[in-house]
Amino acid sequence: MTQADTVTRILDSAEQLFAEKGFAETSLRMITTRAKVNLAAVNYHFGSKKDLIQAVFARFLTPFTQKLDKELDAMVATNREPTFQDVLGVLARTMLTGVETHQRYNKLSVFMRLLGLAYTQAQGHLRRFLNENYAKTYGRFIGYLKAAHPTLSSDEIFWRIHFAIGSAVFTMSSLEVLRSMAQADTGHDASVERVMQMLIPFLSAALEQES
Amino acid sequence: MTQADTVTRILDSAEQLFAEKGFAETSLRMITTRAKVNLAAVNYHFGSKKDLIQAVFARFLTPFTQKLDKELDAMVATNREPTFQDVLGVLARTMLTGVETHQRYNKLSVFMRLLGLAYTQAQGHLRRFLNENYAKTYGRFIGYLKAAHPTLSSDEIFWRIHFAIGSAVFTMSSLEVLRSMAQADTGHDASVERVMQMLIPFLSAALEQES
DNA sequence: AGTCGTTTAAAACGATCGTTTGAAAAGAGC
DNA sequence: GCTCTTTTCAAACGATCGTTTTAAACGACT
């Protein structure tokens, strides 16, 4: 039986529990119990709970950002004037590549949920960490969007992007609640796939409108 | 010092701190210190922290829901077939009436932030409380929206509404973070009013598109 | 086998949490 | 005045938190 090592098991448990409950509501004892490691292992391998939080974000954001950077390179290499759709397509492809189809939406849920926590529960240390490590690629992405839509002001682009991120993050963050509400409301069960299929045209219409 | 003063001051402090930090990150000692009352006053007047959380939501949701119910009554009394815009307008008017203009957006921010917490940080007790007390009017509101847009399925309406709620809640929940990001990104400062003025057409376009 | 650096283990640390206690202070009714 | 209820207050409770300590177990190497 090949057992993942202690560091990986801690990261897996922490990621799952953070996405499920948030940072403050998740204790190190919950994490180490689920990971079946000793309590002190967190402080030994990561230093502190704050460092563990940063490590959880780094594990999925660093490869994601690297992939996004390469995809953006490839985009501008073959396309001198990428459209709004082109740039958004690069983002969508980057989020989905490398993840097996059958667990694609679970991974995406965790991704979105953690992203939401970064916005709404971030203390200073996490915000600073994310800004130092990933702001550059993020700014590059926003820059291409602005270039693709010269009739809109920089402000408009920025805020529309974050309105859209808000929809996605909020929806995935409270998917369980919303699903039970939808079940009681319409009587229909909603799969993640179906919700995504409604969300994408919803956001497309909003992002690209002329004002 | 009378009882109402103590109760009100606790509710004010709790509302502000919950909206700012969330439930778990806000201790009773922080609340009572800011409210300048004794620590035991919370348990004496409310029973427990959970009951205090419910009381904070009840204080602004109960009058809001009552107003919304009356506004919906008035709408159907004068308008046999209210449009999508009519129904949304009732919601917007209900959220803004009774609040002085100069503090309108602060109140709205707190409203949205608490709403976001209810979705993303709700333990069972809060979800159950909100469902028992406010689900009826909420269902009525959704019902009128569905009737106004018969070409869309019930599912579509439900999810679009929550996509829109997500944008608004997320934006207001992380307004400070987003503002500092916008400042670093575009160099422009964004007032709440300006953000709202961009958000509303953004959501209108998304909500009303035909698919 | 024996040594040395790394990792795991159990136990305890001080701090902070929500809550409870018991007595003092304040109000209300007569 | 006095009594009885309501409210405030300081102090402490047990529980849980993140973190530290100390020693045992493990692994690689000579």
Cβ contacts below 8 Å, chain A against chain B, sum to 144
Q: What is the pLDDT of residues B54-79, one digit of tens each?
A: 999 999 999 999 999 999 999 999 99
Report yes or no: B68 and B94 within 8 Å, Cβ to Cβ.
yes
How many other C-beta atoms are found inside a 10 Å radius of the C-beta of residue A175? 18
Q: Within this chain, do residues B159 and B79 fall inside the same structural domain, yes or no?
A: yes
Q: Within this chain, do residues B106 and B202 fall inside the same structural domain, yes or no?
A: yes
Q: What is the CATH number of the domain that holds B99?
A: 1.10.357.10
Q: Within this chain, do residues A31 and A77 fall inside the same structural domain, yes or no?
A: no
Q: What is the average per-residue pLDDT within B96-120?
A: 87
Q: Within this chain, do residues A12 and A63 fall inside the same structural domain, yes or no?
A: no
| B198 chain-A contacts, CB cut-off 8 A | 155-156, 159-160, 163
Report yes or no: B87 and B144 within 8 Å, Cβ to Cβ.
yes
- This prediction's pTM: 0.91
Domain presence at residue B40: yes
Q: Which domain holds residue B37?
A: 1-47
Q: What is the average per-residue pLDDT within A45-61?
A: 97
Q: What is the pLDDT of residues A91-147, one digit of tens each?
A: 999 998 878 888 888 888 899 999 999 988 877 899 999 999 999 999 999 999 999
Q: Within this chain, do residues B9 and B104 fall inside the same structural domain, yes or no?
A: no
CA of B2 to C1' of D4 (A): 19
* Pure H helices in A97-153: 104-120, 124-148
| A121 chain-B contacts, CB cut-off 8 A | 22, 25
Q: Within this chain, do residues B12 and B63 fall inside the same structural domain, yes or no?
A: no
Q: What is the tally of structural domains in chain B? A: 2
Q: Within this chain, do residues B26 and B82 fall inside the same structural domain, yes or no?
A: no
